[in-house]
Structures are given as structure tokens and as C-alpha cells.
A and B are shown apart, each in its own frame.
Chain A
Amino acid sequence: MINRFFNHLGGVITLRIKGKNPEQLINLALSRGVYIWDVKWQGENLRMCIRNSALPAFQAIAAENGFALEIVSRRGWPFFKTKAQRRIGFFGGAALFVLILYGLSLFVWFVDVEGNQVVSTHQILQSAARHGLYQGSGKWQISCSEAEKAILRELPRLTYVQCEIQGARVHIRVVEKVWPDEEFLGPCHLVAKRDGVIEEVLLLQGQAIVKTGQIVGRGDILISGIVYPPEPEPTELLDNEPAKQPALVRARGIVKARTWYEGYGECPRSIEKRVLSGKTLREIKLITPWKEIRVKDAKISQNGLYQQEGKHFSVNTPPGLWGIYIKQYHEQYKNVKTYTEAQAIVVAREKGINHLRRKIQPGVEISDTRLEVLSSPGDAIVRIKVAIESIEDIGGVQPLE
């Protein structure tokens, strides 16, 4: 391998020898220290390889002994050099390309953020940019350890930051702090969060104030955090013991009540909708730090309806912003849909229930649904009121002062 490398460094010449008894020429060359390899017969001629430096000596021996030499090929660095001199543009271009590639790889082209859930990527990127980590910054200016410390200082919600430069990309990996759930542990009452009729009371700690079937309003105490000692027996009153003080506890328990929610829904009898025709027109612009260049124009008609959508790819570089902007026009046409009254009621009911679902907490059991049509039969818009009856835990914490 190393021999082959040095052969190519000095240049390899493949020769064809014409003449009788070429063994004689080989022996003479050997005696003069010429290194010969790949000797083989090719028809009537002997073919062999020698180093470029040995060619004059070999030619002299061949001439002295009446052999004709033909150079079949020249390989190796010296011949490549002459070829390169002839094609200076090509090799210069290749060298320039490598140089530009190297120059561009000295800058940060992409910044990735991983591991964040609560803290937004934008916040992390802004913080990183303030400390030198942004698209287009020179890698020689970046100090990852300092940027990590600064980001940690600026964003207290983060507990760990790691910045890593991989080629032209910077990976910022973060770990956020996990806060414990803030449960109130001091003495408190359980009060009603909503109006309702009590269905079930499960007391865990405290003193139950309400009973099944009782009507409660919002803010009424359901389970009291003040527990009074039991009434003393008349015989015990004879002893001159001091009266026991009430205990303050954190009221705990489940108080389920029947509650009601009301929602509203409406549906016009005739709806005009814009529907996509499937035809799309595209406008392309190239963004350079100096000028915006229009590559392709969208031929849109003045009276047409279009839904616009823009896509933007850009890279921030030291001279400025480079990018491409693609704007798509999706053609639309008007479609009028007419509902019968029954269909409109169904749609309005769905809307009313969906509206109610946003108010009701997840996990609430719906026991009954009622519907009331508010509009008259000939109205252009069907309006309905939806009422939902549910059974849910209405207890909420109210600290004791």
C-alpha cells in the first residue's frame, strides 16, 4: 500500500517493449537499480511498469540494446499536476467551493431546542440569542458554557441547559423544574362551588353540615373544618372540668350534588359556505439581504375568491436574511346549504351541547338533557336552549381565618 502511494507520488509509467529477448533488457535495468513491476506478455510485446524517475535510464538501456519502447500510460501526481495546470478553472472552482463550504460551516445555520414543555421555545431562543447563540452567529464567538449559565440565570424555570455545536447546527437541550402540587393543608371548610341538590355525602374529615336532598347555594358550607367536641353527659358536668375547645381541621370528603347547566345554540336555515375548488395558484419570492426577487407570479382574477396560505423559509446570515417565500392561493366558490327545521334543530342542539361541554369539567356524569326551541317555526335562524342535568362533586376548599 505504502509502496503504491510512493509510486503514485513519483509517477508511474507503463511501457511496452518491442524486440527479441526482452529478458536481457530487464536484467540490465535490474543491475542499474530500476524497480520494475507488473511484467506480463501482451501478444508479442512485454508490458511493464516503472517509476517516472527511472524512465531516462531505461530509455538509454533500451536504445543501447536495440529495443523499441512505447509509453502506454502515465499515472500519478506529476502528470496530474500538468493536467491540473491545463484545467485551472475546474480545479480552481473545486478549491473555491471547498473554501466557501468551509467558510460557511464556520457559522451557525440552525438552532434546535429540545426538552421544553412549559417554557416556550421562543423564550429559550431569545435568551440564547442574547448570549451569542443565534442563526448566523460565528462559531468562534460562541462559548457554550457561558451561554448555558446565562440561560439558566435568565430562565429560573429551567434546571439544566446543555448547548452543543454539531457542524452548523446548535442543539440546546433543557430540563425543566418540576414543582410539587400545591395542595392546601391548613384548616379549611369544604364549600359548594355551584348551586345544586345534595345527592351523596362521604365524610372523611371534619363535620358534615348538609344532608342528602338538601338544596345548597354557591358558597354554602358543606363540610365544616371546625369540629366541636361532643355534648358532655349531665353526670360529667358535676366534675369541675373546663369546657373542651373546638378543633380546627382540614375538611375532607366528597359531596355529590345534582347540578344544572344551560347552553344556547343556533343554526341559520340557509348557510353560505366557501368551498375549495382544488385549484391552487402559487407566488414565489426570493428574499436576499438587499432585495426581494419575484420568481413566479400568481395570476389571480379580480373577482375570484381565494384562501391565502404563506410559507416562509429563511436563514439569518451575517449579511442579512436569505430565504424563500411561497404564497399559495386556493381558489374557492360559494356553496349555499339549506336546512329543514328539523335538521336546523339538530345542528343547533349539537352547537349548544358543544358550548356546554366547554363549561363542564371533565369526568362529570350527565344524567339528563333537555331541549327548548326558542325561535318560531318560520324564523330564518333556529335558536334553542339546552339544559343538562349532571351529578358532580361540588366541594371546594375555603381556608379558615
Chain B
Amino acid sequence: MEKSKEMISRAMADLLEIPKDLVLDIPKITLIGRGELYLENHRGIIEYSNQRLRINLSRGFLEILGDHLEIKALLPDEIKIAGDISTCRFVD
């Protein structure tokens, strides 16, 4: 059901040429070097430690590995992370 809804939304976004992050509620990640990461459209924090941060998404979660990880700002749908980021991957 969720998948078909997403497919319809994607087709509508393609047709109307609307940015997909607005329509589909999918995460938008901005990585600045290895030191900073901005993430929009998150669904909360699953796990946070100095070396690992797992952030819940609309589909699966994002795992960030590194050192001295800090959450610089946390808003209901935005997050800014700072630290020595080594890995950033999506996990279903």
C-alpha cells in the first residue's frame, strides 16, 4: 500500500516537475566535507553515541559512523550533525 502510494507520488512529481523531497517526504542530505551533515525529513533518533548515530527515516534509517559525533541542532524535521564522519549509509 505504502509502496504504491509512493509510486503514484513519484509519478505525479515527475509529471508536474516538483522537487521529490517536497512531495515524497524522502530525506534530503547535505554533506559538507567530512565534518558536517544536514538532514531534512527525518523521523527521530534511534541511537546516538560518539561513534554511531542512527536516524529514523520514512523508509528505513540512516546510519552515520565516525568519531566525536555531535548533534548541533535538532528540529522536528531537520538535524545538523558535526564530527569526523567516516560512513553514511541507508539501512532498510
Contacts and interface: CB of A to CB of B under 8 A. Distances in A.
14 contacts: A22-B48, A23-B45, A26-B44, A30-B44, A31-B76, A33-B76, A35-B74, A37-B72, A37-B73, A38-B71, A39-B48, A39-B70, A39-B72, A48-B71
A27 B70 contact: no
Nearest to A30: B76
A38 B70 contact: yes
A366 interface: no
Interface residues of B, number: 14
A36 B49 CA distance: 16
B65 to A, nearest CB: 15
A153 interface: no
B46 interface: yes
Interface of A: 22-23, 26-27, 30-31, 33, 35-41, 46, 48
Interface in B47-92: 47-50, 70-76
Nearest to B73: A37
Instruction: Tell me whether chain B's interface is mostly helix, strand or loop, or mixed.
Output: strand
Contact of A41 (B45, B49, B75): B49
Given A27-B45, A35-B75, A41-B49, 15 more contacts: A23-B44, A26-B44, A30-B74, A31-B44, A35-B74, A36-B71, A36-B73, A37-B72, A37-B74, A38-B71, A38-B72, A39-B71, A39-B72, A46-B48, A48-B71
A223 to B, nearest CB: 96
A36 B48 CA distance: 14
A23 B46 contact: yes
Nearest to B81: A39
Interface centre among B44, B46, B74 (most CB of A within 10 A): B74
Nearest to A3: B73
Nearest to B80: A37
A84 to B, nearest CB: 30
A33 B74 CA distance: 10
Interface of B: 44-50, 70-76
A36 B45 contact: no
A253 B73 CA distance: 97
Nearest to A31: B76
A36 B76 CA distance: 10
B44 A27 contact: yes
A40 B70 contact: yes
Contacts of A33: 76
A206 B90 CA distance: 115
Contacts of B75: 30, 35
B75 to A, nearest CB: 6
A23 B48 contact: yes
Contacts of B48: 22-23, 26, 39, 41, 46
A27 B74 CA distance: 10
**Which 9 interchain pairs have the tightest Cβ spacing?**
A39-B71, A27-B44, A36-B74, A40-B70, A23-B45, A37-B73, A41-B50, A23-B48, A30-B76
Nearest to A46: B48
Nearest to B48: A23
A24 to B, nearest CB: 9
B52 to A, nearest CB: 11
A48 B45 CA distance: 15
Contacts of A22: 48
A33 B75 CA distance: 8
Contacts of A41: 48-50
A23 B44 CA distance: 8
Nearest to A29: B74
A61 B47 CA distance: 19
Which of A23, A27, A31 has the most chain B CB atoms closer than 10 A to its own CB? Answer: A23
Contacts of A27: 44-45
A4 to B, nearest CB: 11
Contacts of A23: 44-48
Contacts of A26: 44-45, 48, 74
Contacts of B47: 23
Contacts of B45: 23, 26-27
